Amino acid sequence: MKTQAIKWVGGTNGFLEAIDQTRLPQRLVMIKIRNVKTLIDAIKTLAVRGAPAIGVAAAYGLVLAIQKTGNAKNTLALLRKQARKIASSRPTAVNLSWAVSRVQQKAQALVSKNPQAAVKDLKAVILNEAHKIHRQDVAMCRQIGRNGEKFIKNGAGILTHCNAGLLATAGDGTALSVIYEAKKRGKKFRVYADETRPLLQGSRLTAWELQNAEIDTTVICDNMAGALMRQGKISMVITGADRIAANGDSANKIGTYSLSVLAKAHKIPFYIAAPSSTFDLKIKNGSLITIEERPADEVAKICGKRITPKGVKIENPAFDITPAQNITAIITERGVIKNPNARKIKNIFRTRK
């Protein structure tokens, strides 16, 4: 049976079930999320993570938010309040605010059309919209894979950073969907997974995923990438993204920018794979993207054991910005944006799919 990172169980009074990604790879543990507080804790602690996945989880979170309300007016007020809380749980990933905004708009549209709408109908509309976001994410992942697999050649050495697979989405992933699709088509290649300090999403999560998919995988420390590029072992880099500005500047897990610089220096193509929901066209460039600062202990400790002297200063930005000029192409479900810039991105969004 295929692993699902997140899924909704039941009807409007149901709950969200998710893989606790803090337990991987040692244990595969499912957590049951029955209220907004538990959802926000899961997102903040990265038990549920990945921009598309937390967007889907946020949509279902609004179902949890209004389960105990008794009338439509109270439901809308509570929905707005809880939506703000959920959207602020992680500031960089745009999918979070995109999903809660979309669900709120659907709820508001029902009440505007029918002010006397029954609360059960409002709850059903919210759940149906969350299901729709879920299904669309699965479809987007599949299409990203199909649009991107052509860039993987037989014998390729593919470097990826952090985790942009089925654990980070409702489907097969973004960057890893491209890899999975290439495997389906019989291509032979090797994947190098950066360990991705400080929380090791590459060595814990990406390696776990790829091993389960029987894909040739090698884990490397983050600081080994340049040496392997120089040796000719890496022929392309592909990562996901958490927010993409209107000009193509992309926020992704800290360390992605460094890889883009190394790839450019070694004349290696650097790809980003992301759904259209990850684009934030209201933001002109990457300098305007809010970068989440994570707790110092994530750097100071590994598996609960301190590795730095007590009292030493620590910086822990969760993401960095890769400038558009370092990106060979952005692979989306709408198509591929080569050498991305504001004009090309605007054009691809003119075509609705």
Residues with a catalytic annotation lie at 242
Q: What are phi and psi of 51, to 5 degrees?
A: -55, -50
What values do phi and psi take at 278, rounded to 5? Answer: -85, -15
CA–CA distance, 78 with 169 (Å, rounded to integer) = 27
Are 104 and 80 in contact by the 8 Å Cβ rule? The answer is yes
120 membership: H or E segment, kind and range? helix 119-148
What is the distance of C-alpha 228 from the center of its chain? 27
Distance CA 26, CA 5 (A): 16
Q: What dihedral do alpha carbons 75, 80, 85, 89 form, nearest 10°?
A: 110
The three-class DSSP label of residue 317 is strand
Residues 6+ apart with CB under 8 A from 325: none
The residues that bridge with 238 in the sheet, in sequence order, are 271
Phi, psi of 296 (to 5 degrees): -60, -35
Beta bridge partners of 147: none
Whole-angstrom Cα distance, residue 290 to residue 162? 19
